[in-house]
């Protein structure tokens, strides 16, 4: 059960105000000054309000997912007899409903993301795994190799 003390209510109202001001483009410092609170309090209120908002969105998404799954169950139940009787249209519809369920549940196989060597080098350099100088040399070498291959396979060579 959420706290309903006067202090807790005021804190939640302040967090709502902080989030509203932040969405209006105000800086944390401006918000703190406007509300008469410390910079740290304004910052923490903003972080907590965003976390609560994110959690609420997650819960809403879960509720929506459950609602959609119930709708799919209802649709499949409505055509179950025709499917068992072998009606091709009903079987096709059943498969489409099942495919939609797989999408909603994340069960469908997604295409593999291809990562080329140059992109891998850049990522490794950006996250500090590979020293930038080495990555740059490798990128230059790869670009040179790419140019040589392009020249070699060009018509007339």
45 CB burial (10 A radius; 0-12, 13-18, 19+): buried
Residue 58 to residues 50, 51, 52, 92, 149, Cα–Cα distance (Å) = 12, 10, 10, 33, 49
Among the residue ranges 29-33, 60-64, 133-137, 147-151, the one predicted with the least confidence is 147-151
Among the residue ranges 20-29, 47-56, 140-149, the one predicted with the least confidence is 140-149
d(CA 22, CA 17): 8
Q: What is the pLDDT of residues 43-102, one digit of tens each?
A: 999 999 999 989 999 889 899 999 999 999 999 999 999 988 888 998 989 999 998 998
Q: Is the pLDDT of residue 141 over 80?
A: no
Q: Residue 86: what are its φ and ψ, rounded to 5°?
A: 90, 15
Domain boundaries, the chain: 6-105, 117-153
Residue 129's pLDDT band (cuts 50, 70, 90): confident
Taking alpha carbons only, the member of 147, 142, 149, 136 closest to residue 116 is 142
Higher pLDDT, 157 or 36: 36
Q: What is the pLDDT of residue 71?
A: 95
Token readout for 136 is 């740059």
């Amino acid at each position: 059960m959420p706290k309903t003390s006067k202090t807790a209510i005021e804190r939640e109202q302040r967090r709502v105000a902080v989030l509203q001001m932040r969405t209006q483009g105000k800086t944390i410092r401006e918000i703190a000054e406007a509300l008469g609170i410390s910079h740290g309090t304004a910052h923490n209120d903003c972080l907590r309000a965003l976390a609560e908002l994110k959690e609420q969105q997650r819960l809403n998404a879960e509720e929506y997912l459950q609602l959609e799954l119930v709708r799919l169950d209802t649709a499949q139940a409505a055509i179950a007899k025709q499917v068992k009787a072998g009606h091709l249209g009903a079987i096709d519809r059943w498969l489409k409903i099942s495919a939609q369920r797989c999408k909603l549940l994340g069960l469908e196989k997604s295409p593999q993301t291809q990562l080329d060597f140059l992109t891998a080098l850049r990522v490794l350099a950006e996250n500090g795994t590979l020293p930038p100088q080495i990555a740059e040399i490798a990128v230059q070498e790869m670009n040179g190799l790419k140019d040589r291959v392009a020249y070699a396979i060009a018509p007339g060579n």
